[in-house]
Chain A
Amino acid sequence: MHRRGVGAGAIAKKKLAEAKYKERGTVLAEDQLAQMSKQLDMFKTNLEEFASKHKQEIRKNPEFRVQFQDMCATIGVDPLACVSHCARPEMTFRLPALWSRLTLFFSRSYPGKGFWSEMLGVGDFYYELGVQIIEVCLALKHRNGGLITLEELHQQVLKGRGKFAQDVSQDDLIRAIKKLKALGTGFGIIPVGGTYLIQSVPAELNMDHTVVLQLAEKNGYVTVSEIKASLKWETERARQVLEHLLKEGLAWLDLQAPGEAHYWLPALFTDLYSQEITAEEAREALP
């Protein structure tokens, strides 16, 4: 690919291309690029104005946040877009001279964040929430093995936020957790019943495990017979799944239950929701 460089040949070639396209009524890409640059500046101003009026609303109002996120998604914009979304430069940029020009260009014109984050603080909101989610999950891990319902997580996070507790919704938590997956420590979102289980440990949970968790959601526990009846599995398959959950600390075995053994999911114990995180648990959580 040629550089648009000096030389009569290059200039003539460009003039020819321009003429060809203008003839056909097509706008050249570089003209559109210039237009985009101008529009971008204008948009930045509009966004600044919007931010000066409504930045607080985004931070304080969960409903407005959802509207904002949904609108962004509809038009094809990610307000939390990061550098990782940026493509590799074209293959022809292998020349070292170009590489240094490239990095210089980025440092000049490239802030590392999108406008939305920069001016509306959308990023800060979700990344801070991420910190709070991690801390709650760490503190409660020894109780539930690293599996927690979205409800309990929500309640505990709200408690941690104190006075301004009403400003975080479950939608917010889900979005923050999706971002946390990048950290590699096994954050996962498992749909069960009408809600979700949030996994915060790198335990391997495949489809079989997930579907048993979903079955357990009703009563907080599950038995081998129940699995065989509902899912039509063989005994061995049911046992393997339950053993795995036990080993990972996600399930507790109750051999004294009436009838057969009950496998309890501490994550699903509703009466643990209101229990405060103890000082010792908090110590375990905070680095």
Chain B
Amino acid sequence: MDRFVWTSGLLEINETLVIQQRGVRIYDGEEKIKFDAGTLLLSTHRLIWRDQKNHECCMAILLSQIVFIEEQAAGIGKSAKIVVHLHPAPPNKEPGPFQSSKNSYIKLSFKEHGQIEFYRRLSEEMTQRRWENMPVSQSLQTNRGPQAFEDLSKLMIKAKEMVELSKSIANKIKDKQGDITEDETIRFKSYLLSMGIANPVTRETYGSGTQYHMQLAKQLAGILQVPLEERGGIMSLTEVYCLVNRARGMELLSPEDLVNACKMLEALKLPLRLRVFDSGVMVIELQSHKEEEMVASALETVSEKGSLTSEEFAKLVGMSVLLAKERLLLAEKMGHLCRDDSVEGLRFYPNLFMTQS
């Protein structure tokens, strides 16, 4: 039963309908499955089954996947059947109703008769193999677009029900209808989070403080220790984001989760901390790193060269331009450097007003 793929049921160019029959049930091997009432269509290329109750449920197998077919006569209380033996599913098969099946055959049960004629026509098509001479477009294989959209719409209807329900509950909590415990309120909020529904009860952001972020913060401390040491004890948060996510490969961190975890570093007494510069730039520093002390050496470097721009300084010291600029700005803030802000760029000089007064 795993050879079937979902389809829109629309015939392709070059594909013609041979015969169709209502009232057909499908068996997976000997097992009855939920597809119990549908219309079976035979085309020059495929066997298509469409659910009579739910027209969007439509699947097909290629005739080329059929090894051979057998008839099974009707009995007392049993409809006539066609047994279809199938080749194994190809590895890159498009999605269908079953991911796997232990059976290599299916049965088609004709509850409203028509088995004899259908069998005859199917045998004919198997003999003639018209599909080999009439190639159909690739989209026959990858006709998932419309189906995917339908499935998505159905899913969204269910999601919307959840949203409506959550609004109703939120209103009740606000109006205090019923005796809601704290535990239940917490549970409710976690439901909202799972669904991605904005919390209508209170709109305050949590910031940091959940178990998840605490664990994440500890992980980050482990991952970032060495890279920080290699980079002079300081890295911008964008660098950290890239480094951590490249290392993870999957289950990537969102920017918000990274920031929230970093906000907890200091509180958890980990060897790194988050620092926000006046410009809004956020960095991670080793606790042992003292940016203010780095300023002293920056002053030395600038004095040696007379004056430096952020780019020049960055190149000399081997830092990113972003962090170089922040260091020079900090030095300026502390009074060690002066700026010359012209159209030729921002240049920093030692603050002679301080040293030579």
Contact = CB atoms under 8 A, between A and B. Distances in A.
A124 B204 contact: no
Interface residues of B, number: 96
A50 B193 CA distance: 20
B182 interface: yes
B335 interface: no
A29 interface: yes
B69 to A, nearest CB: 28
A68 B162 CA distance: 17
Interface string B325-357: 000000000000000011101100000000000
B205 A50 contact: no
Contacts of A39: 161-162, 165
B193 A40 contact: no
B95 A53 contact: yes
A282 interface: no
Contacts of A61: 145
Interface string A73-86: 01111111111111
A179 B255 CA distance: 6
Interface in A174-207: 179-186, 201-202
B166 interface: yes
A84 B203 CA distance: 10
B259 interface: yes
B186 A105 contact: yes
Contact of B196 (A68, A77, A179): A77
Q: Is the interface of A mostly helix, strand, loop or mixed?
A: helix
B182 A183 contact: no
A246 interface: yes
A52 B100 CA distance: 12
B252 A124 contact: yes
Interface stretch (B40-48, B78-86, B102-110, B229-237): B229-237
A72 interface: yes
A202 B279 contact: yes
A287 interface: yes
Given A82-B257, A183-B255, A93 B182 contact: yes
A127 B245 contact: yes
A6 interface: no
Contacts of B75: none
A141 B342 CA distance: 20
A62 interface: no
B324 to A, nearest CB: 12
Given A53-B148, A123-B254, A142-B311, A28 B198 contact: no
Contact of B156 (A71, A124, A243, A253): A71
A54 interface: yes
Contacts of A72: 156, 159, 196
Interface in A100-148: 101-107, 109-112, 114-116, 121, 123-124, 127-128, 130-131, 134-135, 138, 141-142
Nearest to A14: B179
Contacts of B177: 21, 26, 28-29
Interface stretch (B16-24, B118-126, B167-175, B298-306): B167-175
A146 to B, nearest CB: 9
Contacts of B256: 82-84, 179, 182
Interface stretch (A30-38, A220-228, A269-277): A30-38
Contact of A141 (B239, B245, B321): B321
A1 to B, nearest CB: 8
Given A29-B173, A67-B149, A202-B281, A130 B241 contact: yes
A110 B311 contact: no
A231 interface: no
Nearest to B199: A87
A90 B185 CA distance: 8
B163 A77 contact: yes
B91 interface: no
A5 to B, nearest CB: 9
A115 B311 contact: no
A287 to B, nearest CB: 4
B190 interface: yes
B203 A87 contact: yes
Interface string A254-287: 0000000000000000000000000000001011
Contacts of B343: 243, 246-247, 253
A185 B155 contact: no
A29 B236 contact: no
A89 B152 contact: no
A170 interface: no
B293 interface: no
B202 interface: yes
Interface string B269-289: 000000010011110000000
B257 A89 contact: no
Contacts of B279: 202
B182 A98 contact: yes
B144 A54 contact: yes
Given A39-B162, A76-B198, 6 more contacts: A3-B182, A87-B206, A110-B193, A112-B216, A130-B241, A185-B238
29 contacts: A26-B177, A28-B177, A28-B178, A31-B178, A52-B99, A71-B156, A87-B202, A106-B210, A110-B190, A111-B194, A112-B216, A114-B193, A114-B194, A115-B194, A115-B196, A121-B250, A124-B252, A130-B255, A131-B241, A138-B238, A142-B321, A179-B256, A180-B241, A182-B255, A247-B341, A247-B342, A247-B343, A249-B345, A287-B227
User: 3 shortest A-B CB distances, which residue pairs?
Assistant: A112-B212, A81-B196, A29-B172
